[in-house]
Chain A
């Protein structure tokens, strides 16, 4: 699943390690989410959204909507 996590993180000048510490996950988790290799659980997605004070939809792109636009 694609996300805007890398952009939002960069806007705040945080490293992946900084974000990982704030979310209480490993740096590899942040990297995997940013690169779309891993889809976070709903509780983690909420933690990410709350940290950036955005809605989940603002951060994560819906795979169904994204693919339908591509068609």
Chain B
């Protein structure tokens, strides 16, 4: 089985992965109490607004981390492949969102919450990342 070595990652990639892991941990810690509060307690509208913003902050942080990574990455090959992956994921996600939006408007498909759009983007990007990881295996070294 192919296992990516630690040395295969640039310092910018390692920093990005660290940031994303912390943000995902924050998301996992923040979200359950917010959902519980919404379901079991009467919460005022301003507090609901604040809760929604707090819940979205870790995800916004992940997108900000991508921007930081692209700015920090000194290896032009990795920068180019990441930009390509982001472009593919963005096009695929936006395309899917438009098609789903019309299907929903015509009553063919059920309503899907908007926060699934970035989730789909991350999944598509991750899938292309895995494909790229295996595609660049070099038998020489």
Contact = CB atoms under 8 A, between A and B. Distances in A.
B140 interface: yes
A26 B10 contact: yes
Interface string B1-27: 000000110100000000000000000
B141 A29 contact: no
B10 to A, nearest CB: 6
Interface residues of B, number: 14
A29 to B, nearest CB: 4
Interface in B57-91: 74-78, 80-81
Contact of A32 (B7, B10, B77, B141): B77
Contacts of B78: 26, 28-29
Contact of B76 (A15, A17, A41): A41
A25 interface: yes
A7 interface: no
A3 interface: no
A27 B141 contact: yes
Given A15-B141, A38-B80, A29 B75 contact: yes
Given A28-B8, A32-B136, A17 B141 contact: yes
Contacts of A25: 75-77
Interface of A: 15-17, 24-29, 31-33, 35, 37-38, 40-41, 44
Given A25-B75, A26-B8, A28-B8, 18 more contacts: A17-B141, A24-B74, A25-B77, A26-B10, A26-B75, A26-B78, A28-B77, A28-B78, A29-B75, A29-B77, A31-B141, A32-B77, A32-B136, A33-B77, A35-B138, A38-B80, A38-B81, A44-B76
